[in-house]
Structure 1
Amino acid sequence: MTHTQPAPPPAAVPTEAPPLILVGNGTRVPAGLDETTRLADLVRALLPEVRVEVGYVELAEPALDEVLDTILVESGAAVVVPLMAGPGGHVRQGVPRAVEGAKARHEDATVIPTRHLGSPQPLIDAIHQRITAARDTWPADETDVVMAGRGSNDTDANADHVRLSRVIFETGGYRQVLSAFIQIVGPDLPQILHQYYSSGSRRIVVMPHALFSGRLDESVRRLVDEFRASHPDAEIRIADVIGPCDELAEVVAQRTRRAPSGPAPRPAPART
C-alpha cells in the first residue's frame, strides 16, 4: 500500500515592503530641509505600507550612513532613492559609497539602490507650473526662460540640464529657453541675461532647476538682483524651485515600486 507523503508547507513569502530611504544632498538652508521633510510626508501618504526615512549625504543630519545602519539593523533591507535630478558627484560617488559601506557592515542585509530622478514627465509638468506661476499674465510666446542649473564637473549632468531646457522649450511654447549655470561651467546666468537683454527681451523668467530651496536659488536671486540694478527696464521674475509637490512624490513612489533587485552599483572613480 502506497502512502502519499503530505506536501510540505509552502515557504513563507515576505509581505512587508522594505523601508525606503530618501537621500538628500544636504543643505544649510533650513527651508530646504523642511521641504525634504514635507516630501517624505507626501511619499508616506502614497506608500502607507512603507517605512520612509530621510538621510543626507552632507551638511545636514541625519547622515545617510547612520540611517542605513539603523534601518538595516532593524529591518535587514532598504530601498535607497537619491533625491537628485542629475547624475552628479553624489549620485556617482557619494550614494554608492554609502551603500557599499553599509553592505560591508551588514553582510546579510539587502540594499536596493535606484537611479537618480532625472526629468520624467511629472517633473517637467511641475517645472511648467512654476514658470506659469512666475510669468502670470505674460503670454508664453512673449516670455524668455532661463533654466538655471548648478553646474558640475560631471559632463553628463551638465548635458542633462541642457537637454531639459530643450524639452521645456518644445513643450511650453515660450519664446526662448536657454540654459545657464551657477558654478564651474558656463554660460553663467549673467551671460544669458545679457544675451536676452541685447536681443530685446524684457520679459524673462528664471527657473532654478532644483528640487528644494538651497544655495542654488539663493545664488539665482542674488545674480538677478545685481542684473536688475543695472537694467531697470527689464522685467525678470524668478520661479519657485520644484519643491515638495504631488508630482515629485509620485516620481519617488514610482522609483520605489520599480526598484530593481541585485547588487548596488560600484562607486564611479572620482573625476579629476
Structure 2
Amino acid sequence: MSNPPLGILLIGHGTRDQRGTDEFFELGRRLATQLAGRAIVQPCLLEFQSPTINEGWRRLLEAGAERIIVSPLLLFAAGHAKSDIPDAVEKVARETQTLDRIAGYSRPISRQPHMIDLVRERLIESLGSAAIDPAGESSRPTAVVMVGRGSLDPCASSDMRLLTEVTLRGRGNQIARSGTGAQSIADCYEIAEGGCCTTFYAMAQPRLPDTLGQMAETGRYGRMVVQPHLLFSGRLYEAIVRQTEEAAAKFSEIDFIVSRYLGPDTKVAAAIADRIDSLASEKIGGEALLP
C-alpha cells in the first residue's frame, strides 16, 4: 500500500436493474485486483442504489485513506462528470472537514486503448455471425450502427462519433487475430463509407429508430449490426433491443443483430486503472500519488 494510504472512490451512475448493479460491483472488484497493494478501492453510486457517494467517501476515511482519487465511471465527459459528481464529493468532504484529501478526478475512460479494444471485440463477435450466409449466396452488405446513451453536452456526442470512426476505421490487434490481414474492421467486413453511423438513444440526434428506418429504406443493406455503447445491463440496453426488434418487424428483409454491451470486463478495469495512474503520476505537492 502506498504511504500515506491512497483511496479510490469509484463512482457509477446507478441503475434500478439489479443485474446492472451487480455488474458494477463486479467491476469494482476487478479494479481492486488491478490496484492491489497500491490503493483502497471503494465503489459507490450516484443514484438509485447504495452505497452513495457520501457513504463511499466516509468508508474510505474509516479505512484510513489520507488521499482520495475520485474516479467517475463514465464513458464520456458530460453533466455528471462536470458538476453532479464534484458537487456531491465536495459536499461530503466539507462535512467531514477533509477537502484537503481530494487528490483529483480521473478522466472518463472514453477512447482509452483498452476500451477501443473491447468495443472492437464486441463488434467483431456480431460481424462474424452476420458474415455467415446460410444460403451460400452473395448478399447485400452489412451496416454498423453504434448507439450512445446520448447527452445534451455536444462534446460527449462528438466523442461518441469519434469513437465510431476509430473503432471501425482504425487498426487493432483483434483485426490481426481474425486472420484477414485487413487494415480495419471496415475493410475486413467490407463496410462502405455510408454503412457505419453513430446514433443515440436520447437527448442527442439522430435517434436510433430514425437511423434504423432511414438506413433500411435505402435498400442497400442486408444486415444491420446495432452496437450499444453501454457498460452494464439495464433498462437502456433493453430499450435499445426493443427498438431494434421493432425495426426488424417493419423491415423483415433485413437481418438485425444487437451486440452485447461491454460489461464488467477486465479491459474496462484496466482502462480505469490507466486513467487513475495517469492522474497519480502527476506531481501534487511535489509528491507522486502512486509509486
Q: 2:101 aligns with which of 91, 106, 110?
A: 110
Find out whether 1:165 has 2:164 as its counterpart.
yes
Counterpart contact for 1:151–1:158, Cα < 8 Å: yes
Q: How far did residue 207 of structure 1 move?
A: 0.7
The 5 Å alignment of 1:211-226 reads 211-226=231-246
Counterpart contact for 2:42–2:59, Cα < 8 Å: no
Find out whether 1:80 has 2:79 as its counterpart.
no
Write the distance in 1 (CA, Å) between the matches of 2:142 and 2:249: 20
Aligned residues: 251
Write the distance in 2 (CA, Å) between the matches of 1:91 and 1:58: 14
Counterpart contact for 1:71–1:77, Cα < 8 Å: no
Q: How far did residue 77 of structure 1 move?
A: 2.6
Find out whether 1:45 has 2:33 as its counterpart.
yes
Q: 2:272 aligns with which of 252, 263, 270?
A: 252
Counterpart contact for 2:141–2:222, Cα < 8 Å: no
- Calculate the aligned-residue CA RMSD, in Å: 2.2
Q: 1:185 aligns with which of 204, 215, 226?
A: 204
Counterpart contact for 2:27–2:269, Cα < 8 Å: yes
Write the distance in 1 (CA, Å) between the matches of 2:120 and 2:169: 11
Which AA in structure 1 matches 2:34? L
TM-score normalised by structure 1 residue count: 0.85
What stretches of structure 2 of length at least 5 have no aligned partner? 133-139, 171-184, 286-291
Write the distance in 1 (CA, Å) between the matches of 2:275 and 2:246: 40
Q: How far did residue 55 of structure 1 move?
A: 0.6
Write the distance in 2 (CA, Å) between the matches of 1:149 and 1:41: 26
Question: Which residue does the alignment assign to 2:289?
Answer: none
Higher Cα Rg, which structure: 1
Write the distance in 1 (CA, Å) between the matches of 2:157 and 2:276: 26
Counterpart contact for 1:72–1:106, Cα < 8 Å: no
Cα shift readout 1:175-225 (whole Å, capped 9, x = no counterpart): 122011111221111121122212321211111111112232111011011
TM-score normalised by structure 2 residue count: 0.80
Write the distance in 2 (CA, Å) between the matches of 1:115 and 1:98: 17
Q: 1:134 aligns with which of 96, 104, 126?
A: 126
Matched-pair identity in %: 27
What stretches of structure 1 of length at least 5 have no aligned partner? 1-13, 264-272
**Alpha-carbon spacing, 1:57–1:262, altered in 2? closer, same or farther (3 Å):** farther
Counterpart contact for 2:4–2:67, Cα < 8 Å: no
Write the distance in 2 (CA, Å) between the matches of 1:170 and 1:148: 17
- Per the alignment, in what secondary structure is the counterpart of residue 198 of structure 2? strand
Question: Which residue does the alignment assign to 2:137?
Answer: none
Q: How far did residue 133 of structure 1 move?
A: 1.3
Find out whether 1:100 has 2:90 as its counterpart.
yes
Cα shift readout 1:217-244 (whole Å, capped 9, x = no counterpart): 1110110111111111211111111111
Which AA in structure 2 matches 1:41? R
